[in-house]
Amino acid sequence: MDISEVAKKSGVAASALRYYERKGLIHSLESEGARRKFSPAVLDQLALIALGQAAGFSLDEIRVMLTPGGEPNIDRAMLASKADELERTVKRLKAMIQGLRHAVACRAASHAACPSFQRLLKAAAAGALQTRQRPLAPRRGT
């Protein structure tokens, strides 16, 4: 298949296919002329890349999960680690949803007077609601 056919069948732009090839995620066959040719198996490889991205893996992490021939070679420990990370994210998001729903229904005169909303603010200030801990940027004048 040429690159335009792969793009049409996969929904992945030709520019992304070229980028994936440069990153070593997919490989073209010997090209005839100026157009890249790909094996039909590239569609399965692109589906695996899309699945990996949807799960939050970087392209470099996904590349490690593919053999040079494009077959999956998935590290189970890496999958378990990602599953743990996703579970933490889900837990954090559920807590946010509950906090927001409470804020909507809270009968306190203002959110500042609501103990539940104050706990949510403190958790946010402590970084407990972030997906990844990042150092705070220094404040100007301090």
d(CA 59, CA 49): 8
CATH, domain range 3-64:
1.10.1660.10
Question: What band does 31 get if pLDDT is binned at 50, 70 and 90?
Answer: low
What are the structural domain ranges in the chain?
A: 3-64, 76-125
Backbone conformation region of residue 11, classed left if phi is above 0, alpha if psi is from -120 to 50, else beta: left
* Residue 40 pLDDT greater than 60, yes or no: yes
With the CA atoms of 53, 58, 60 and 61 taken in that order, what torsion angle do they form, in degrees rounded to the nearest 10? -80
pTM: 0.69
